[in-house]
Amino acid sequence: MERYVAGRFTVTAAPHDETLAHALLAGAVRRDTFPWLPRPTDRLLIQIAPNRRAFEELVGPHAPEYGAAIAFPGERRIVMQGSRAGSGAGDPMRVLRHELAHMALAEELGGLPSRWFSEGYASLVAGEWGREEVLATNVSLVWRGVPTLDELEEMFRGGPARAAAAYALAHRAVVELGTLDTDRGLTLFFRYWREKGSFDAALRQAFTMTQSDFEQVWQQRTRRRYGALALFADFTVAATVLLVLLLPIYIARRRRNRERLASMAHAEATAEQRARESAVEALLASVSSPSEPPIGPGPGSEP
């Protein structure tokens, strides 16, 4: 593994990942600030794993089944997959930005943020707006509603599908939280959270609302914004499936109708032809049948 150093970052990578290492290092130095947080100062190690096996070895026994990187704030270390990772690993620049946001948040607030908040903030910082596409097709938002924040925390442990929905909902929650103060965003909230050590107390002081109040606002807005889209998507899928199932029946019925109409047209044409032939035969018969003898000169008439 080669070492590359710039600013407060050290990157280690195999020789075949040298280009990637230089690009990640330059990007980390160039964008080393994070919304609403003081500029980080901790020195960080970024390890680029040359392959999946090395990634699992660097992460340890709790390597995630999904995900392209993982941050260890207590060790000031980030492990991520390299250039030989599959397409599911995502854009490495965005992946690193996501993990660096985790580190910056932890440097400021320690272990105070829950996982849903940390993932939502990192997703927002990395510009992962595509995650919200998951919500537009999540029909459970319509039928079961948006989960509570406590339920959202548990969703990260429910496998890849539930985790994808959890990331999207967490992203939406932090976005909603940031819009509560259009001038300062989460700046005051982070300060109060660090001082008081309580998410609810920070909400009360920064936004004059309780955790329960924010949870209700977030649930209502998310369901209103994405519930109809999810329902429409579900109806669209159902209509597509129905169309696929009924299309062969429709085609077969059209074919039978065309064959029936063709048969009826043929029968009608045959009957009409026979009727014409019968009329012609009758006319010919009437013309060729014996008639009265022609009128000629009678006896004693002038020649």
The model's confidence at residue 244, banded by pLDDT at 50, 70 and 90, is: low
Report the amino acid identity of residue 237.
V
- Tell me which residue of 49, 149, 53 sits closest to 95, measured CA to CA: 49
pLDDT, average across residues 6-15: 97
Mean pLDDT of the 60-75 span? 84
Query: Band of the pLDDT at 259, cuts 50, 70, 90?
Result: confident
pTM above 0.85, yes or no: no
What confidence tier does 263 reach under pLDDT thresholds 50, 70, 90?
confident
pLDDT at 129: 86
Beta-carbon count within 10 A of 149 CB: 20
- Per the model's pLDDT, the better-predicted residue between 246 and 257 turns out to be 257
Domain locations in the chain as residue ranges: 1-111, 113-261
CA distance linking residue 254 with residue 248, whole number of Å:
10
Helix (H, G, I), strand (E, B) or coil at 293: coil
Considering only 40-54, 89-103, 131-145, 195-209, which range has the smallest mean pLDDT?
131-145
Give Cα 118 distance to the centre of its chain: 22
What is the arithmetic mean of pLDDT over 63-73?
Answer: 83
92-128 residue pLDDT tens: 999 999 999 999 999 999 999 999 999 999 999 999 9
Pick from 191, 123, 112: which is nearest to 156 by CA?
123
